[in-house]
Chain A
């Protein structure tokens, strides 16, 4: 495969939006194209992410409409991707695979979601559609419920009193909200403390409101290009060093939910392709849909051993200017927000900006290698992309 670069990357503000899915995607997409010093007519294909447009707006087959919004040429095919919360990362990976294979030179990838339009009750129902329908969502399992079950398993398996584990999980929320307070694009830009987290309403025992990311609206897009041409277009392209994607079945197949098997397989592929290991990462944007999810992810990456990442945030090891590796400087899904079809492309946008030194007050000094991690559904899909700025 030939080397692949990311040129421009952009996201809308995440939060509650009055704009349609297409309007949000057009904003992010056109900005990503402009930042790449390109025109819409230069795009050879659109890899478009959206999960729930049919419930949000009664809109299926949104890809060709997004294509028209951006003014792409008729010869550029637009294809919709749906991998639950990992949608935009999976779309970008497939864009990069086809650019790497020489099928296209320049493509646009990303996604859009307007989740707040549904309201909590319908949104909870539709998100639960990403659980196995006959055996699991029929039992009334919800997304918070999946990670709540993982939390109880984690506490039991590693013999950590639940009360202690919850305090450390609250530390993850406090850290990510603190990072989000420095991100003008974040859904929530306010710091919180441990008492706020532990005082929140119970959503799915033992997860409380502030253990959970919000339903959000937003869009994000990246321009993926042949690395040989990237330098001619912009001065500081970011390169894709390695990618991985893996799949696992329903929860009853996964069994021990503290071990995200799809992530372990995906990150192994990405490390191998990039020729790096967990100690080489300077900055990580990972899938903290729930506080426990950040802990599980850091263990899957090998940044921490199994059963060892639970107190990383409270020990200050994963915070900006912390002692180990900066995790979710954007605020993560927790504070930046989680418009599911757009999330992966927003994580990529954050890492691209970090590797270019464009992140302002939340800049990770000297960041050279960054990891994007996105999880789809109830641990059924994981996609990882490792980026580098090519500076040794």
Chain B
């Protein structure tokens, strides 16, 4: 079984401002980030697709006690993308002090930023970002 869209390809997409996922040919659901099988129906009949990069915040937190190597405070949020999947990332255009329940439901645009590797996860990684203001 060939992995249709690897993490490496997904990362290259983010580098170019593209949000690459998979479309399930069996049940039409969209898989993002990419995986080996459709999470809804288990099918492996998947075709790469590009997502719109739009969604709405469903929840968030402000991390104030951070893992080794990270500088708090920063916002981690989950957004529901317009194509259906949920994604986790960093909300980057709001000061952590201003983050409150009013964020829930707010429209966001996806982007990405590079998180440097550390002693344990050595690769630099493109991580999703959310912005409230359209670019």
Contacts and interface: CB of A to CB of B under 8 A. Distances in A.
B60 A149 contact: yes
Interface string A270-311: 000000000000000000000000000000000000000000
Contact of B90 (A139, A201, A206, A253): A139
Interface of B: 7, 33, 39, 58-70, 74, 76-78, 80, 85-90, 99, 101, 104, 115, 118, 120-121, 125, 127-128
B33 A144 contact: no
Nearest to A146: B61
Given A138-B115, A252-B88, A205 B61 contact: yes
20 contacts: A121-B66, A129-B120, A134-B7, A139-B89, A139-B127, A142-B63, A142-B67, A144-B61, A149-B59, A149-B78, A152-B60, A152-B61, A153-B59, A153-B104, A156-B104, A252-B78, A252-B86, A255-B58, A257-B59, A257-B78
B120 A134 contact: no
A148 B58 contact: no
A138 B67 contact: no
Interface in A246-273: 249-253, 255, 257
A134 B125 contact: yes
Contacts of B59: 149-150, 152-153, 156, 257
Contacts of A150: 59
Contacts of B118: 125
A139 B90 CA distance: 6
B104 A145 contact: no
A117 to B, nearest CB: 14
A120 B66 CA distance: 9
Contacts of A253: 39, 86
B101 A124 contact: no
A136 B89 CA distance: 7
Interface residues of A, number: 41
A129 B125 CA distance: 15
The 8 lowest CB-CB distance pairs between A and B, nearest first, are A148-B61, A125-B67, A125-B68, A205-B62, A121-B68, A149-B59, A153-B59, A138-B125
B94 to A, nearest CB: 13
Contacts of B60: 149, 152
A169 to B, nearest CB: 14
A144 B63 CA distance: 8
A133 B64 contact: no
A251 to B, nearest CB: 6
Given A252-B85, A252-B86, A255-B58, 7 more contacts: A125-B67, A137-B121, A140-B66, A142-B65, A142-B66, A145-B76, A156-B59
